[in-house]
Amino acid sequence: MVTPVDERRYRAFLAAAQLRHAWQFQRRGRSETDDPVEIEIPPGWYGLMDRLFDGVAEAVPAAERGGFRWRRLRVVHGVLEIRFDGVRDRILPIVTRTRDEAAVTCQACGQPGTRRQIAGDYRVNCDRHFIELLVDAHPRGESGARRWWQTPQPALGRRSPASLLQAGPPSELLLDQALRLAMPAAPRLNGAHRQRLQGVWPVLREAFGERLRSLRLAEFEPETGPNGTLLAMLAGEPDTAARTAAANQLARAGYSDLRLRLIGQSDLDNPVRAADPWSCMLALEASVSIPRYQPSAPFDGR
């Protein structure tokens, strides 16, 4: 939510940067509306950006500044996107460092953070702001979330999440609870859904072989069109390259509506500390099993 205070801070951040380094923000054309610099930076990254602008000012001598400008500075699914024109080699190391720092800096407050998924979107957040987003994602809306937030709970030593969070950084137990409460309802599959989804088995079997242990479906809302999150449980650690390849294979087989998430079996022991806590908790709390595809079922006449 953007409050007037956030809005003021944002304007102050932009105005200060443009005042200090006007040459980095010049427009391509002459008029006010010609090709402006696109900027959409969350407050936790203002400090990083100021260091980026200062670093570029140091690295680029006055004689070379004419061709330089930022084109786009924004956050996309928890990743800092930086595009610019001109003097590439001199500033590339600074740009890379800024991106790397953003990947581990909370977008909301600037404290150390991790990039994590929340209901299909990704953000870099410290644990405290991760909890706040989970509370916002509560399936019973604001009132359900507020009740949980303010009610003392036996598992939390008879304190409320709100008071615990005021006292210090959130414990794993509190994170676990918030994550569990933010889960959507488990899907209900009819016969047609089940039959279609069984076709995913041979595709992923080919991609992962014996490592594929089970498949589950979550975040499935057939009334809004085909979609859903497909959770593949794998023996060992899943890697990003394997996910991309398998997602491409799924799309070619006609399942581009399913978001594929890979889960290593050890992730399930402690979802809060897994690489993708949201998907792990979906697997544990809010998903249904997709039965294995059996090409030679007993009733097919053979």
Contact call for residues 283 and 231 (beta carbons, < 8 A): yes
Give me the least distance between CB of 102 and Zn ion, in Å please.
Answer: 13
Give me the least distance between CB of 110 and Zn ion, in Å please.
Answer: 7
Between 133 and 251, CB nearer to Zn ion: 133
Q: CB under 5 A: which stretch of 4-12, 88-96, 119-127, 134-142 binds Zn ion?
A: 119-127
Beta-strand relationship, 228-234 and 258-264: parallel
Which of 37, 41, 91, 126 touches Zn ion (CB under 5 A)? 126
List C-alpha distances in Å: 81 to 39, 42, 97, 125, 204.
10, 12, 12, 17, 32
Query: Residue 109 interacts with Zn ion (CB under 5 A)?
Result: yes
Task: Tell me how many residues contact Zn ion (CB under 5 A).
Answer: 6
Which of 73, 91, 108, 165 touches Zn ion (CB under 5 A)? 108
**Residue 17, class by beta-carbon neighbours within 10 Å (0-12 exposed, 13-18 middle, 19+ buried)?**
buried
Between 106 and 207, CB nearer to Zn ion: 106
Q: CB under 5 A: which stretch of 57-65, 99-107, 142-150, 188-196 binds Zn ion?
A: 99-107
Spatial separation of the C-alpha atoms in residues 158 and 2, rounded to whole Å? 33
The candidate with the shortest Cα–Cα distance to 279, out of 220, 241, 230, is: 230
The one-letter code for the residue type at 242 is A
Q: CB under 5 A: which stretch of 65-73, 78-86, 122-130, 217-225 binds Zn ion?
A: 122-130
The candidate with the shortest Cα–Cα distance to 217, out of 190, 244, 189, 242, is: 189
Query: Residue 129 interacts with Zn ion (CB under 5 A)?
Result: yes
Give me the least distance between CB of 95 and Zn ion, in Å please.
Answer: 24
Give me the least distance between CB of 125 and Zn ion, in Å please.
Answer: 6
Give me the least distance between CB of 206 and Zn ion, in Å please.
Answer: 41
Between 79 and 185, CB nearer to Zn ion: 79
The one-letter code for the residue type at 230 is L
Among all chains, which residue has been given the structure tokens 């022991």?
Answer: 269
Which of 75, 106, 281, 286 touches Zn ion (CB under 5 A)? 106
Between 108 and 134, CB nearer to Zn ion: 108
Between 114 and 198, CB nearer to Zn ion: 114
The candidate with the shortest Cα–Cα distance to 243, out of 226, 224, 229, is: 229
Give me the least distance between CB of 188 and Zn ion, in Å please.
Answer: 36
DSSP codes, 155-221:
GGTSB-HHHHHHHSSPPHHHHHHHHHHT--PPP---HHHHHHHHTHHHHHHHHHGGGEEEEEEES--
Q: Which residues bind Zn ion (CB under 5 A)?
A: 106, 108-109, 111, 126, 129
